[in-house]
Every structure is written in C-alpha cells, then in structure tokens.
Amino acid sequence: MQKVHRQRLAQVQSKLADRKLPALVIFSRANIRYLTGFTGSAGILVVGRDGWAWLITDGRYKLQSREQTKGTSVKIAIAKQTHKVLANILKRLGVRQVGFEGRHCTVAFLDGLREELKGTKIRLESVANIVEELRAVKDEGELTNIRKAAQLADAAFEHALKVIRVGMTEQELAWEIEAFLRTHGADAIAFPPIVVSGERTALPHGQPSDRQLRKGDLVTMDLGAMVNGYCSDLTRTVVIGKPSAEQQRLYRAVWEAQQRGIEAMVAKQKGKKVDSIVREVLDKHGLKKLFMHGTGHGVGLEVHEAPSLGQRSKDILRPNMVVTVEPGVYVPKFGGVRIEDMVLVSDSSPEILTRAPNPPKILSV
Ligand code: ZN
Ligand code: ZN
C-alpha cells in the first residue's frame, strides 16, 4: 500500500506546483486516509510542493500513525494543540502561500491558526477539490474493495427479500440489513440503511420508523457496505403483494429513466448531460417535477464524493470513475420509487457493479 500512497502524495505535490501553491493543509479524514493510509479520527496533514509531508495527530494515535504510514515519506508530529504545531511547521519551512481545505476546517481552528501566524508573512487561502479530483478516478486496488462492497450490498438486499413480511416494522427490516452487512464481511455500514414503506416512500431520505409493513405497500431500501474503507450504495423499491396500476406506472418510468441514464455513462460524457437524459425520460411520463434530487454521485472512501450528476455539475466522466445512477419520483401522500445502481465508467460500455435484481416491472414480494 505504501507505494500507492507515495504516488498519490506525489500527484498532490505536482498539482500544487501547477497552482503555484507551496503547501496545502488537509483536514478531510478521507483525504488523509487516501494520501497516507492513516485511519485515525483526528489528524491534519500538511503537504509541501517540494516533497515534504507532515501528519499532525495526538497521543492516542502515536503508534497507529507510525505503523500506517510506514514506507511513505510522511513525518509524524504528536501534539495536543495541533494549530500551534502546524504554525511552527509552516514557519520553519518558510512557505508564504498556504492552501487549506476550507470545507473541512472549523472556524475555531482557523482563528487559532491565524493567531499563531500573526506577524508572519504566511497567507492562508481556502482551496477545494485538489485531493477529491484525484479520488474520483479509482485504481485497481480501490476497485477491488468497491466491488466487494457492492456484492455485499446485493447480498444484503437478497437477505432483506427473504425476511421481509407483513407486520414487521421499517426499523426491524433496517436492522436485518445492517446486521447482515456487519456479519458478512463489512468493516462498517456505509450509512444507516434507509427503509421506508407505504406513503413514507415519498420521503427520499426518510429514516426507518416503527411503521409496520402492510399488504400493498411500496417499500424502498437504500443501503451500503464499507469494505476496507470503501463504500457501496444500492437502492431498490419493491411492493408487498400485487402492485396497483399507479405503483407499476411510477416504477416503470423510473426504471426506464435509470436505464437511459446508465447507457449514457461513458467517458467524456458530462455529468450534467446524464442528469438531463434522466429528467427527459421522467418528463415524458409527466413526472419531472416529482424528481427533486440529483441523478447520482461518486462512491469511494466516502459514500458521496466527486463526480456529481446534476444540473449544476461541471464534472466530466472519466474511465475508472464509480458513480451511482439513482432517479426517483416521490408523490406526496401516495409514495415513491427510487432505483439506484453503482456504475463503473470506461471508454466503452458502462459496467454495473451492483447486481441486485432490477426487472422492468416492480418486484413483488
Ligand atoms: Zn443510496
Ligand atoms: Zn446514492
């Protein structure tokens, strides 16, 4: 793993050189893990254009940080007051312009750091997406973990289909999914499973409640595993018993929108364009206004990461990006349908990584 971390650090350093930025302070845990292998819950990484990198963490992670970054060029500093140590490192290295991840830094930390840097010529500048852009394109090792996480999500969904029954609550079904993931090889769940039923399926991100499942209910399950830090994300909507004509109609429209969206997932495609294609299909069915979220997002160390598929997206798809395609329609007081799969982008046709059954007619359980 160390070789891969050395390469990634070198990539960041060359990006800093391109931007004429002497140093970058990284706060995002996922970014720190990606660049160094360090998985602790507290730490700051500062990377210099000239090849140096310091990881500042606290006493709890003294051993772990050394072990996990062995073989990389990362130096470790153990400190109680991380902003002071960071200021000292920046002063000692004589950098003037320093970028920091404004999106991942607290105002309190920044105030403390500014205080320490008073009287120096060091200028702080908020920057975004330097590491995220690298993370969007996956290497083979990452894809292996993502594939495992996707297979586990599929298996958890199959398990849910086996245990689902009238009278059980949404919370009970969510726990079945979570327990399955945790006992079948996930190091964690990617996020707490969403299980909503009946009218509650009109909530795109509703939390499982104590509502009992009934005959004729739509049931939406949105779930994901984490394997070696890498996430999966899968959604299916099923019906208990025989679907009504309206349930079937909504489902069919979402399914068709998702299929058209997936077909469009090729390298060089604009994220915005995939979103438009999906919206056009729903528009044809008179359902566009009932789709109020983006079409998809990248998945990796975080369950939501770059690139994004939405109307405001400026992202362009590249080979080895892993992105969800997840249209949905949500009818207040009736219910909703969402179908989500993870797609691996390549120069040729896209590969669907999640393999849970996805028939054109709603699955009846
Ligand atoms: Zn999801
Ligand atoms: Zn998703």
Element (H, E) at 334: none
Distance 234 CA to ligand 2 centre (A): 7
DSSP annotation of 315 reads -
Per-residue 3-state assignment (H helix, E strand, C coil) for 72-95: CCCEEEECCCHHHHHHHHHHHHCC
Contact 20, 96 (CB under 8 A): no
Distance 110 CA to ligand 1 centre (A): 33
Position 16, amino acid: L
Closest ligand (CA of 299): 2
Distance 293 CA to ligand 2 centre (A): 10
Element (H, E) at 5: helix 2-18
The one-digit pLDDT tens for each residue of the chain (365 residues) are 578 999 999 999 999 999 999 999 999 999 999 999 999 999 999 999 988 999 999 999 999 999 999 988 899 999 999 999 999 999 998 999 999 999 999 999 999 999 999 999 999 999 999 999 999 999 999 999 999 999 999 999 999 999 999 999 999 999 999 999 999 999 999 999 999 999 999 999 899 999 999 999 999 999 999 999 999 999 999 999 999 999 999 999 999 999 999 999 999 999 999 999 999 999 999 999 999 999 999 999 999 999 999 999 999 999 999 999 999 999 999 999 999 999 999 999 999 999 999 999 999 99
Helices 107-116 and 82-93 sit at what angle, rounded to 10 degrees? 50
Closest ligand (CA of 153): 1
Distance 221 CA to ligand 2 centre (A): 11
* E-assigned strand segments in 68-159: 75-78, 97-101, 123-127
Contacts of 63 (CB under 8 A, 6+ apart): none
Q: Is 48 exposed, middle or buried (0-12, 13-18, 19+ CB in 10 A)?
A: buried
Residue 50's pLDDT is 87
Distance 363 CA to ligand 2 centre (A): 20
Residue 71's pLDDT is 87
SS3 304: coil
CA dist., res. 184 & res. 180, Å (int): 6
Alpha helices in 169-322 (DSSP H): 170-183, 245-263, 271-284
Distance 43 CA to ligand 1 centre (A): 29
Distance 75 CA to ligand 1 centre (A): 37
Distance 165 CA to ligand 2 centre (A): 25
Closest ligand (CA of 303): 2
SS3 161: helix
Closest ligand (CA of 326): 2
Closest ligand (CA of 224): 1
Q: Compute φ and ψ for 23, nearest 5 degrees.
A: -155, 155
pLDDT per position as a tens digit, 255-269: 999 999 999 999 999
CA dist., res. 268 & res. 355, Å (int): 25
Element (H, E) at 328: strand 328-331
Contact 234, 161 (CB under 8 A): no
Closest ligand (CA of 190): 1
Residue 1's pLDDT is 56
Contact 23, 64 (CB under 8 A): no
Name the percent of the chain lying above pLDDT 70. 100
Residue 51's pLDDT is 86
Contacts of 358 (CB under 8 A, 6+ apart): 236, 255, 258, 339, 341
Distance 233 CA to ligand 1 centre (A): 5
Q: How far is CA 225 from the centre of its chain?
A: 11
Neighbours of 346 (CB within 10 A): 16
Residue 2's pLDDT is 76
Distance 110 CA to ligand 2 centre (A): 32
Reference 36, options 58, 56, 16; nearest CA is 56
Distance 208 CA to ligand 2 centre (A): 17
Distance 333 CA to ligand 2 centre (A): 23
Distance 297 CA to ligand 2 centre (A): 6
Distance 308 CA to ligand 2 centre (A): 10
Distances (CA, A) of 40 to 79, 336, 350: 14, 39, 35
Distance 244 CA to ligand 1 centre (A): 25
Distance 233 CA to ligand 2 centre (A): 6
Distance 305 CA to ligand 2 centre (A): 10
Position 29, amino acid: R
**DSSP for 308-326, written as a single string:** EESTT---B--TTBEEEE-
SS3 58: coil
* Beta pairing partners, 226: 188, 231
Distance 361 CA to ligand 1 centre (A): 20
SS3 114: helix
Residue 138's pLDDT is 98
Distance 193 CA to ligand 1 centre (A): 9
Contacts of 39 (CB under 8 A, 6+ apart): 33, 64, 68, 229
Distance 339 CA to ligand 1 centre (A): 9
CA dist., res. 66 & res. 37, Å (int): 10
Distance 298 CA to ligand 2 centre (A): 8
